[in-house]
Structure 1
């Protein structure tokens, strides 16, 4: 059975073979030539198809390489000579896409290409050169410290006191080593040719300085009963001509930053929220790590403004002295509105009326009570809050006599406020918000309210906070930042409801 099946399967092949042998020689040659031509055509078509695929893949690779943007690591700002618009050269070589899905069970998936590794240069006597540089730098610091000690001794003999002194040289050596060993890649990451429009070129430069500048020296500024300020002076690439416009003092001879405690990280969030809302009343702030402070934990660093800290005591002449009653009276009189000088006996302060509206909106979103409500009268405070202890010590007093705190105006511009000490609270529920911050406010800035109404607050805050890599990572990445923005969005809804219920006017405030 199997043998007959075998013959049945191969019988056609045998018949073709026998027929092919019986054909004349010319016919057999023609058949063989035709088969060769068909085979050649098939081979040529396959080779052409494979070459076309290879060419397409090469074109895609070239297109991807050009679109990903291999930019230099040098951080420079440029200006378009034709349009006058400023743009920022990107500081990173990889691309990150941020989506706006708010609720996630898992952390957001961030796509990106891997940054190319930097080639290590051949080290030729580098250790000797750095040793000489460090010795020269420390020699300069020792001479500065000696001059400061001699000046302090002479002032003490004359009955004066200095509120500034240098930290030990051991800390300065540590800071120099930390700055030299640190990464040269900026922690301020900008991937496009333009920074977000709500950040000015000066904001970007200040952020880069605070995040990446080498620490040259550390100083401590005493403030009487308040905790001292920890100020560092950094090495900057600003030219000497531009430094002429920077106000110098005995505390800082160039460009400096104020180092705060890690628990004050809301200063960084407050800076970005202020810029997104278009208020522009806070000092630039970034998050940075110092190996010689707070066990390397990220801490906020704010730009030093010498005009806010006059010689002798911090924020002395720049502080506005007001009680709650005087503040409410100035709101009713609309002081300095339409550039009208108030009467001498009106009790108005030097601050423009619109500034209080901006301060109230900003403080309500972050629930900052230490300015307009230092006694915690507008909400239920916790037992560990400072205001509870102060109220227990002072006892009951007239609410109108409560002294407002941390009301600071610009050193050369008494009409405008500067928002400092921006310690916000994200753990306060909507049923315990401090509405006392909005008492007496009849107008709010149009630009800020439009951002809240258009529901673009989350999108802008994500784009802005993403620039500060250290802060972004310290808050748990996208998932942690989303939780903070959720709190601000819920408070924004409450504020919009309050505006509609109380008939608060939305006006343009350009001052």
Structure 2
């Protein structure tokens, strides 16, 4: 049995020895041949080696191309696994450059001018109608809109069992100096008040929101049904949480034009963190008081005449009720946030994305017609018509420095000294960290100190761009009364 087990190994070993011995004898016989024959054999061996090497390289390229082809196919198959990055970038400062979207119609055959104009008008109306249908269809599937319309009971949003205290934290003896005591009191009220009644609001050119009224803030004896006595708030979409950042930035810059905004969670809204803003019933749009819409051409005319800066304006200037300095303040504020929805609703100063509302509704195609450009969210208080009130202060942190909206600064010749001094003093980061720390819910939702630092990085970069713009265009820095 041992012989049977060893025999295959011995046979293989003997075969290898015989093969090596035979090959060695063959080489000796070749070496003893003539020189010409040896040279011919060496050349043949070299050619054989090169041929094998070429086959090996071709096979490697073929396998590599096959792998890339499979990867290309997998990337285009919906639902197929694709490699993902292990680290998640919170804010993209340098996004990929995209060419501007071609929004105008394609080339049309030449025809008579009247027919071409009719075709152009029909195409614009069709595109506008299609854009409204697309946006309306998207809004019908909006989970936030569906959640709001589900509140048909007055006390359905009551969260008495979940709201145990205020999320506004101040550990030092004094609050940040840019936040007044009224701001602190309002922030604490909005973060822990008990909700008595809820109403759904759907303002024009804005997302739907909830108006809640605390049990003590609803004045039943008021002549206006449902009027609040400073104890009401507005709950907005979770996507609008950047308005909390905008409120703190407004206070730090010394503008003091934004309504108090904090962040708060509601169990009835699936525990989502939503921005909550103080409701002010005295705020009305400027268009309502002037009986007409505010257009870009009128706005530029007001900037040219400096309305109310040099006393009572002349009647032929057609000035509105707002003071000239208010436009300088809001442009600085909107440029840092890149909030185009107030002064550049048509997205004429930057490259919009296809999913932006200005593209879907066809506003972007009107950039060449200044008589059609309108301003939005321009509001003031009834008892203070000279000053703006900042509402819907969305911050767009994902817009890189190569796609900033400089149209917001068009026509501006001076900026407020207090705000510019904060940008130049290198204290913006420190002040924002100290101020945003007060709102515990917002701080934790953004990832703590690390996430807040990334937001501030974006604002600091835009502040440096704004300071270079001021020096390059000779913008005057003047003192503006609050």
TM-score (norm 2): 0.65
1:410-489 equivalences in 2 (<5 Å): 410-489=381-460
Q: Is the 8 A contact 1:166 1:220 kept in 2?
A: no
Q: Match for residue 171 of structure 2?
A: 191
How many residue pairs are counted as aligned between the two chains?
333
Q: Match for residue 131 of structure 1?
A: none
Q: Match for residue 29 of structure 1?
A: none
Q: d(CA) in 1 for partners of 2:427 and 2:223?
A: 40
Q: Match for residue 79 of structure 1?
A: none
1:154-193 equivalences in 2 (<5 Å): 167-169=151-153, 172=155, 174-176=156-158, 178-184=159-165, 186-193=166-173
Q: Match for residue 330 of structure 1?
A: 302
Closer/same/farther in 2, CA of residues 301 and 460 from structure 1, 3 Å limit: same
Alignment partner of 1:234 out of 202, 214, 231 = 214
SS at match of 1:287: strand
Once the two structures are superposed, what CA deviation does each residue of 1:251-274 show, in whole Å capped at 9, x if it has no partner? 344410000000001110000000
Structure 1 runs not aligned, ≥5 long: 1-164
Indicate whether 1:384 and 2:355 are aligned: yes
What is the aligned-residue RMSD (CA, Å)? 2.7
Closer/same/farther in 2, CA of residues 472 and 362 from structure 1, 3 Å limit: same
Report the alpha carbon displacement of residue 394 of structure 1 after superposing the two structures with TM: 5.8
Alignment partner of 2:272 out of 297, 302, 310 = 297
Closer/same/farther in 2, CA of residues 476 and 249 from structure 1, 3 Å limit: farther
Q: Match for residue 198 of structure 2?
A: 218
Q: d(CA) in 2 for partners of 1:251 and 1:435?
A: 41
Per mean C-alpha deviation after superposition, the further-off stretch among 226-235 and 359-368 is 226-235
Q: d(CA) in 2 for partners of 1:418 and 1:453?
A: 25
Report the alpha carbon displacement of residue 183 of structure 1 after superposing the two structures with TM: 1.8
Q: d(CA) in 1 for partners of 2:473 and 2:151?
A: 53
Once the two structures are superposed, what CA deviation does each residue of 1:228-273 show, in whole Å capped at 9, x if it has no partner? 431011245x9x9xx99xx984234441000000000111000000
Once the two structures are superposed, what CA deviation does each residue of 1:300-337 show, in whole Å capped at 9, x if it has no partner? 00000001259xxx995499832111111111110000
Closer/same/farther in 2, CA of residues 429 and 225 from structure 1, 3 Å limit: closer
Structure 2 runs not aligned, ≥5 long: 1-148
Indicate whether 1:409 and 2:380 are aligned: yes
Report the alpha carbon displacement of residue 398 of structure 1 after superposing the two structures with TM: 1.2
Greater length-normalized contact order (CA 8 Å, ≥ 6 residues apart): 2
Q: Is the 8 A contact 1:320 1:349 kept in 2?
A: no
Report the alpha carbon displacement of residue 345 of structure 1 after superposing the two structures with TM: 1.4
Closer/same/farther in 2, CA of residues 215 and 208 from structure 1, 3 Å limit: same
SS at match of 1:219: strand
Q: Is the 8 A contact 2:263 2:439 kept in 1?
A: yes
Indicate whether 1:251 and 2:226 are aligned: yes
Q: d(CA) in 2 for partners of 1:429 and 1:418?
A: 27
Q: Is the 8 A contact 2:348 2:367 kept in 1?
A: no
Q: Is the 8 A contact 1:319 1:407 kept in 2?
A: no
Report the alpha carbon displacement of residue 349 of structure 1 after superposing the two structures with TM: 1.1
Report the alpha carbon displacement of residue 399 of structure 1 after superposing the two structures with TM: 2.2
Indicate whether 1:375 and 2:346 are aligned: yes
Q: Is the 8 A contact 2:337 2:395 kept in 1?
A: yes
SS at match of 1:462: helix
Closer/same/farther in 2, CA of residues 371 and 226 from structure 1, 3 Å limit: closer
Q: Match for residue 55 of structure 1?
A: none
Once the two structures are superposed, what CA deviation does each residue of 1:187-246 show, in whole Å capped at 9, x if it has no partner? 00011121111001110111011111111111123446754431011245x9x9xx99xx
Once the two structures are superposed, what CA deviation does each residue of 1:453-482 show, in whole Å capped at 9, x if it has no partner? 000000000000000000101111111100
Q: Match for residue 257 of structure 2?
A: 281
Report the alpha carbon displacement of residue 166 of structure 1 after superposing the two structures with TM: 11
Closer/same/farther in 2, CA of residues 291 and 337 from structure 1, 3 Å limit: same
Q: d(CA) in 1 for partners of 2:452 and 2:207?
A: 30
Q: Is the 8 A contact 2:347 2:364 kept in 1?
A: no
Q: d(CA) in 1 for partners of 2:162 and 2:346?
A: 46
SS at match of 2:362: helix
Q: d(CA) in 1 for partners of 2:228 and 2:191?
A: 19
Closer/same/farther in 2, CA of residues 190 and 502 from structure 1, 3 Å limit: same
